[in-house]
Amino acid sequence: WAQDASNRPQPVYHFAPAANWMNDPNGLVYYDGEYHLFYQYNPYGDRWGHMSWGHAVSRDLVRWTELPVAVPETDVMAFSGSAVVDWHNDSGLGKNGKPPMVAFFTGFNPRTKIQAQYAAYSNDRGRTWTRFGDKPILDIGSTEFRDPKVFWHAKTKSWIMLVVLAVENKLAIYTSKDLKQWDKASEFGPAGARGKNWECPDLFELPVEGHPGQTRWVLGINLGDSAIGGGSGGQYFVGDFDGRRFTPDPTSGTAPLWMDYGADFYAAVSWNDIPAKDGRRIWIGWANDWRYANAIPTFPSRGLMSLPRTVSLRQTAAGYRIAQAPVREVETLRRDPVRVDELLLGEAEVALPVEGGSVELQLDIDAGNADQIVLALSDDQGFRTLIGVNPTIKELFVDRTRSGPHFHDAFPERHNAPIKIEAGRFTLRLLVDQSIVEVYADNGETTITDRFFPASGKLRWSAYARNGTATIRSLKAWQLGDAVQV
C-alpha cells in the first residue's frame, strides 16, 4: 500500500492522483465506454498553484487510471469547468464524422486577474486537447466569473452554460447553438445560503421517485465558506428549468438544502452524457474543505475525491429532497463478508468483528432506551473517530475532535445532521477508506462526509451505547477494494 508521511495507508477505492495537489472535479463526461474525471491539479507541487486539468479514466467509476495532464497552465491557469460530447458536431470541431469532446474551463490570467471562459476540444477520446483559439469564448471583464457547466437541453435544442458571478452570489445562464457564441438568458440569485462566493454550479433534471412521468430540476451551488459543515460546502435548489431560466419551487422553502452535512464534500458536479438507457445522474465531490485543504497531512498527493454517487429525488413531507448512494459498482469491490445479528450495546465498549479501515458497514439499529449509540474507529495510539446517533434528539454525528494529531484549528470538529428514527429504528451505511468516512443515513437523504487522519494505519472498530441499551439488529460488513490506482 502506498503510505503517506505518517505511515498511514492511503485510501484504496477513492480516487487520488499519484502525487501532487488536486481540488475540484472537472469535465465529467462519459464517452465511448469511459467515464472521464478531470480535476484541478498542480503538476508541480502539493499545494494549490499552476492550476491545470489533471485526468483519469474509468470503465466502472471505482477503478481509475491516471493519464497525463489534459489542459495545462498557459498564459492562463485552467480553473474549473465541464465537458460535453458534441454529438452532432454543432461546433464544427469534429473530425472524420466522429463527435468531438469539447471542454469549457475558466482561464484565470494571473497578471490581469480576469476570469473568462475558454474552450478546448479533443478528437481522440480525450487523450489530447487543443485549445479553441487564443481568446476566451466568453469574457465579461470580471475577476469573479467562473466554473462553466455546459450541457445539452433537449427540449429547446440548445446548449446551456451555467457560470457563477462568484462574489455576487449569482448564477448566470447562457445559451448557444454552436458551443462558441454564447448569449445571456437569465440570472438566478442571491438565494439560499450566501457566503464569500458561489462556485461550481450544476443543473440537471431528475425523475421524482415513485411518481412516473414527473420530473424536477436540481440546481447545485457550491459555497466557498459558511456551509453547514463549517467551511466550503454545497447547497441545492429544486425547481423548474425552461431552457432559459431556473425557477425554484415555492415549496422548497427558504432554508438552504445541503448536499452533505460534513466538512469534506465540495465542488460536487455531475457527469454529462451518461447513456439514457443507464439513466443515472452521478456526481462526485472533492473530499476537502478550503479552510484547511492546503494543510492536510497526506503525502505524496494532497487531495481526494468522494465516491461517485447516484443522485435521485424524493418527495418528502418537507418537500423535494435529493438522496445519494454510492454507485452500485462499489459492490464489485466487496470481499470477506461479515454478518452479525442481535448485538446488544451498553456502556461497555464491544469490539466489532470488522477489520481495518477500507470497509463498508450496513447497520440496522434499534435505539432501545439509549440516548446515544456510537461506532468508534480507533488507531493504536488512542486517536478515534466517532460515528453516532442521539436518537432522542434525532441527530446523526461524526466526531473527529480527537481523530488524529493536530494540524489545523478548523479540523477537530463534530458535524451534525438530522436523522429520522422510525419505531425506534434507524439504518446507517458507512463507506470508510483509511482517512475518509462517508455516512449515508435516511436511505441517502442525509450524508456526512469527513476526512480523518489517525496517527497510525491499524484501525479497530468498536461500539457502545450511553444511558441505556440499544441493539444492532444486523451488521453487514465487507472489506472493500481491489481497486488499483495507476
24 contributes a contact to ligand FRU by CB under 6 A: yes
Smaller CB separation from ligand FRU, 100 or 262 = 262
172 contributes a contact to ligand FRU by CB under 6 A: no
Q: How near is the Cβ of 55 to ligand FRU at its closest, in Å?
A: 15
- Kindly tell me which residue out of 4, 46, 147, 438 binds ligand FRU, with binding defined by CB under 6 A: 147
Under a CB-based contact definition with an 8 Å cutoff, are residues 400 and 413 in contact? Answer: yes
40 contributes a contact to ligand FRU by CB under 6 A: yes
Looking only at the bridges linking them, the beta strands covering 301-302 and 20-31 are parallel
Smaller CB separation from ligand FRU, 40 or 122 = 40
Q: Which of 321, 61, 84 is nearest to 216 (CA)?
A: 321
116 contributes a contact to ligand FRU by CB under 6 A: no
23 contributes a contact to ligand FRU by CB under 6 A: yes
Q: How near is the Cβ of 217 to ligand FRU at its closest, in Å?
A: 22
- Kindly tell me which residue out of 16, 29, 37, 51 binds ligand FRU, with binding defined by CB under 6 A: 51
Q: How far apart, in Å, do the first and last CA atoms of the chain sit?
A: 12
Q: How near is the Cβ of 151 to ligand FRU at its closest, in Å?
A: 18
Catalytic residue among 4, 24, 147, 366: 24
SS3 273: coil
- Kindly tell me which residue out of 15, 31, 35, 79 binds ligand FRU, with binding defined by CB under 6 A: 79
301 contributes a contact to ligand FRU by CB under 6 A: no
Q: How near is the Cβ of 317 to ligand FRU at its closest, in Å?
A: 34
Q: Which of 442, 417, 362, 326 is nearest to 352 (CA)?
A: 362
Smaller CB separation from ligand FRU, 223 or 441 = 223
Place of cell 418528502: 316
Under a CB-based contact definition with an 8 Å cutoff, are residues 345 and 367 in contact? Answer: no
Smaller CB separation from ligand FRU, 221 or 363 = 221
260 contributes a contact to ligand FRU by CB under 6 A: no
Q: How near is the Cβ of 236 to ligand FRU at its closest, in Å?
A: 16
Binding mask 189-218 for ligand FRU (x = CB under 6 A): ----------xx------------------
CA max distance for the chain: 71
Smaller CB separation from ligand FRU, 269 or 419 = 269
Place of cell 465506454: 33
Is 24 considered catalytic here? yes
Counting beta carbons within 10 angstroms of the beta carbon of residue 244, is it exposed (0 to 12), middle (13 to 18) or buried (19 or more)? middle
329 — phi, psi (to 5°)?
-60, -20
Which residue stretches of 233-315 are H helix?
none
C-alpha 176/C-alpha 155 separation (Å) is 14
Cell of 240: 423548474
Which residue stretches of 281-392 are H helix?
none
Q: How near is the Cβ of 277 to ligand FRU at its closest, in Å?
A: 33
Q: How near is the Cβ of 322 to ligand FRU at its closest, in Å?
A: 20
103 — phi, psi (to 5°)?
-110, 150
- Kindly tell me which residue out of 10, 42, 80, 324 binds ligand FRU, with binding defined by CB under 6 A: 80
Q: How near is the Cβ of 200 to ligand FRU at its closest, in Å?
A: 6
C-alpha 443/C-alpha 321 separation (Å) is 12
C-alpha 116/C-alpha 400 separation (Å) is 39
Q: What DSSP string describes 424-479?
A: TEEEEEEEEESSEEEEEEGGGTEEEEEE---SSS--EEEEEEESS-EEEEEEEEEE
Residues 6+ apart with CB under 8 A from 9: 1, 2, 3, 357, 358, 434, 457
- Kindly tell me which residue out of 14, 36, 146, 314 binds ligand FRU, with binding defined by CB under 6 A: 146
Smaller CB separation from ligand FRU, 162 or 206 = 162
Q: Residues binding ligand FRU: what is the number (CB under 6 A)?
A: 12
Smaller CB separation from ligand FRU, 147 or 442 = 147
Under a CB-based contact definition with an 8 Å cutoff, are residues 304 and 287 in contact? Answer: yes
Residues 6+ apart with CB under 8 A from 199: 80, 146, 147, 164, 166, 222, 223, 224, 267
114 contributes a contact to ligand FRU by CB under 6 A: no
C-alpha 252/C-alpha 240 separation (Å) is 12
Q: Which of residues 320-349 bind ligand FRU (CB under 6 A)?
A: none
Under a CB-based contact definition with an 8 Å cutoff, are residues 189 and 246 in contact? Answer: no
Q: How near is the Cβ of 144 to ligand FRU at its closest, in Å?
A: 9
106 contributes a contact to ligand FRU by CB under 6 A: yes
36 contributes a contact to ligand FRU by CB under 6 A: no
Smaller CB separation from ligand FRU, 269 or 359 = 269
Smaller CB separation from ligand FRU, 269 or 375 = 269
Task: Provide the annotated active-site residues.
Answer: 24
Binding site for ligand FRU (CB under 6 A): 23-24, 40, 51, 79-80, 106, 146-147, 199-200, 267
